[in-house]
């Protein structure tokens, strides 16, 4: 350090004053750099910034040498050493000033990364809330429409569908606010959903849901599979006169999950007599998967004349 050579031949009692003077001038340069030069010149005019740093050090160094020279007026040997070491003092000032610049850049980068991560997290949470808000009302309106139709017919199935709906709404209200839920609860939710569909579908409709593998403590995004199920009924089984089907299979192996659903198709799907409301489609499902499971999912779609299927392969991390 510059002060090392300057301290040679100085009494220990005066070393403190020597270091204090140098620290004061270091502080002047560092604060001038942090508060004025960096905010006004570093990003926009880098070459001007470097020139101003060198110029500031060139101005401060003679003042520092003068202060040291006057302070040690009773020590001519030290005064001569100070004058001889002006270049080293200047280089020391330049080093300290640029070191403060490097530390400031590192701190700003670290703060930017934290803010970026926080903003990304907030964006993801907002998008998920938006996507889930699209799912929940859509399913609720569909189920209420089914319940309304059954009550008009004074069907004995109405009380059962009310109980199933209450259980599903309890899950949606109290469980689905979390980023992840237990896979077992999501499977139970799907079973309830299919039970509601069986109540209103023809008796010969083939509706099945098989689960393979060991389901334990795996966590998955809530309401991730129901859009596929809704679409299978809305575009498939709901238009079948007989022999229609919706078949689901969920295979679990550790953290790897494969969800497969297929539904029958009719040759000519009748157009609705009124515009449909709701519906989220595969586009929103893909968006949600990209947010929650980037690079950890794949969707395979088969669209054949009499069958439509979707396979979702997912790593539950």
Per residue in 209-234, pLDDT (tens digit) is 999 999 988 999 888 898 899 888 88
CA distance 6 to 22: 11
Last residue in a domain, options 54, 89, 113: 113
Identify whether 135 is part of a domain. Answer: no
Lowest mean pLDDT among 188-197, 202-211, 272-281: 272-281
Per residue in 32-91, pLDDT (tens digit) is 989 999 989 888 888 999 999 999 999 999 998 888 888 877 778 878 888 888 889 899
- Residues in a beta bridge with 310: 261, 301
Shared domain check, 160 and 306: yes
H helices, E strands: number in the chain: 9, 7
Q: What are phi and psi of 57, to 5 degrees?
A: -65, -35
Give percent above pLDDT 90 in the chain: 31
The beta strands (E) that lie in 125-255 are given as 181-182, 206-213, 219-220, 245-253
- Max Cα-Cα span within the chain: 113
The beta strands (E) that lie in 19-137 are given as none
Shared domain check, 185 and 50: no
In the structure encoding, which two tokens stand for residue 269, read together? 């799907």
For 237-263, what is the mean pLDDT? 87
Identify whether 144 is part of a domain. Answer: no
Q: 292: domain range?
A: 156-315
8 A C-beta contact, residue 39 and residue 20: no
Least Cα distance to 88 among 64, 72, 71 occurs for 64
Residues in the chain: 317
Last residue in a domain, options 113, 141, 172: 113
In the structure encoding, which two tokens stand for residue 246, read together? 């919706």
Last residue in a domain, options 53, 85, 113: 113
How many domains does one find in the chain?
A: 2
For 187-196, what is the mean pLDDT? 89
- Residues in a beta bridge with 301: 310
Identify whether 125 is part of a domain. Answer: no
Identify whether 162 is part of a domain. Answer: yes
CA distance 280 to 92: 65
Shared domain check, 194 and 101: no
Shared domain check, 169 and 76: no
Identify whether 133 is part of a domain. Answer: no
CATH of the domain at 303: 3.30.565.10
Per residue in 168-191, pLDDT (tens digit) is 888 877 777 788 899 999 999 999
Give percent above pLDDT 70 in the chain: 83
Shared domain check, 58 and 165: no
Least Cα distance to 95 among 64, 121, 66, 57 occurs for 57
On whether the pTM is more than 0.85, the answer is: no
Identify whether 148 is part of a domain. Answer: no
Shared domain check, 287 and 161: yes
8 A C-beta contact, residue 179 and residue 127: no
Q: Is the pLDDT of residue 275 over 70?
A: no
Shared domain check, 62 and 206: no
Residue 12's pLDDT band (cuts 50, 70, 90): very low
Name the 3-class secondary structure at 298: strand
């Amino acid at each position: 350090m510059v002060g090392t050579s300057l301290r040679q031949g100085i009494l220990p009692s005066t070393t403190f004053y020597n270091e204090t003077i140098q620290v004061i001038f270091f502080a002047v340069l560092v604060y001038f750099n942090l508060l004025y030069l960096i905010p006004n010149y570093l990003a926009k005019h880098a070459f001007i910034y470097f020139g101003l740093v060198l110029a500031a050090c060139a101005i401060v160094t003679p003042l520092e040498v003068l202060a040291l020279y006057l302070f040690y007026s009773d020590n001519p040997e030290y005064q001569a050493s100070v004058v001889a070491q002006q270049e080293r003092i200047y280089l020391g000032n330049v080093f300290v000033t640029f070191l403060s610049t490097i530390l400031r850049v590192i701190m700003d980068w670290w703060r930017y990364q934290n803010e970026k991560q926080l903003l990304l997290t907030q964006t993801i949470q907002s998008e998920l809330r938006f996507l889930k808000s699209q799912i929940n009302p859509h399913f609720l309106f569909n189920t209420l429409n089914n319940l309304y139709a059954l009550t008009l017919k004074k069907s004995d199935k109405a009380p059962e569908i009310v109980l199933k709906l209450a259980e599903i709404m309890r899950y949606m209200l109290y469980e689905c606010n979390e980023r992840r839920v237990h896979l077992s609860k999501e499977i139970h939710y799907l079973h309830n959903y299919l039970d509601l569909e069986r109540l209103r579908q023809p008796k010969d409709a083939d509706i099945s849901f098989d689960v393979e593998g060991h389901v334990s403590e795996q966590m998955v995004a809530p309401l991730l599979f129901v859009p596929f199920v809704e679409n299978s009924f809305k575009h498939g089984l709901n238009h079948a006169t007989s022999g229609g089907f919706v078949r689901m299979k969920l295979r679990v192996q550790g953290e790897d999950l494969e969800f497969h659903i297929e539904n029958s198709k009719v040759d000519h799907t009748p157009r609705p007599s009124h515009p449909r409301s709701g519906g989220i489609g595969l586009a929103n499902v893909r968006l949600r998967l990209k947010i929650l499971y980037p690079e950890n999912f794949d969707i395979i779609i088969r669209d054949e004349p009499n069958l439509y299927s979707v396979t979702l392969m997912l790593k539950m991390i």
